[in-house]
């Protein structure tokens, strides 16, 4: 009798536990809303010191959250870029990580050995794949990180080819 009574109590207790387990599970997913906390996406840029040949800078790596541009600005003499003028051809890059990107200087750029220039990342916010930044129109502005444009200075070391004078 004791064994039977304990078995009945055990069965009732187990049934209660199972019932309360299912009852406590609420279906919170019925509204089909998703709350995503977006990751902070910041543009990054890496350019190594290099000898410049064929009027091209090799940008080692960029990572941008949206399509954009790599441009080169001349130095303003006060350790900053001359904007909005650029001395390179704007180079379009797709969102994400990109490596070893060649950026060519404009044919009218005047470069000297030892000059400092500024490699800068710009967003592509206007007409797709058309660089439109002029400093006034709010199109294709620089990517911003920590309140400042994403850019880095680069000291030019030009490869000067001279031909020997044959006598």
131/33: higher pLDDT: 131
41/117: higher pLDDT: 117
Contact 58, 101 (CB under 8 A): yes
49 confidence band (pLDDT: 50, 70, 90): confident
The pLDDT score that the predictor gives to residue 53 is 83
pTM over 0.85: no
Q: Which of 62, 45, 52 is nearest to 88 (CA)?
A: 52
Average pLDDT, the chain: 82
- 44-158 maps to which CATH number? 2.60.40
| Segment of 25-29, 36-40, 72-76 carrying the highest mean pLDDT | 72-76
Domain boundaries, the chain: 44-158
Most distant pair of Cα atoms in the chain: their distance:
124
Contact 148, 94 (CB under 8 A): no
């Amino acid at each position: 009798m004791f064994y039977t009574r304990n078995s009945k109590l055990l069965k009732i207790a187990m049934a209660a536990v199972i019932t309360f387990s299912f009852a406590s599970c609420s279906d919170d997913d019925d509204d089909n809303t998703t709350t995503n906390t977006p990751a902070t996406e910041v543009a990054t840029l890496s350019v190594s010191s290099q000898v410049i040949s064929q009027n091209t800078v090799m940008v080692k790596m960029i990572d941008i959250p949206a399509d954009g541009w790599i441009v080169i600005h001349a130095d303003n003499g006060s350790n900053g870029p001359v904007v909005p003028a650029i001395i390179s051809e704007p180079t379009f890059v797709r969102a994400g990580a990109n490596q070893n990107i060649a950026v060519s200087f404009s044919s009218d750029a005047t470069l000297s050995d030892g000059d400092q220039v500024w490699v800068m990342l710009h967003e592509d916010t206007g007409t797709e794949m058309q660089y439109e930044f002029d400093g006034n129109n709010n199109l294709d502005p620089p990517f911003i990180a920590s309140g400042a444009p994403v850019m880095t200075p680069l000291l030019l070391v030009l490869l000067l080819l001279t031909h020997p004078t044959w006598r």
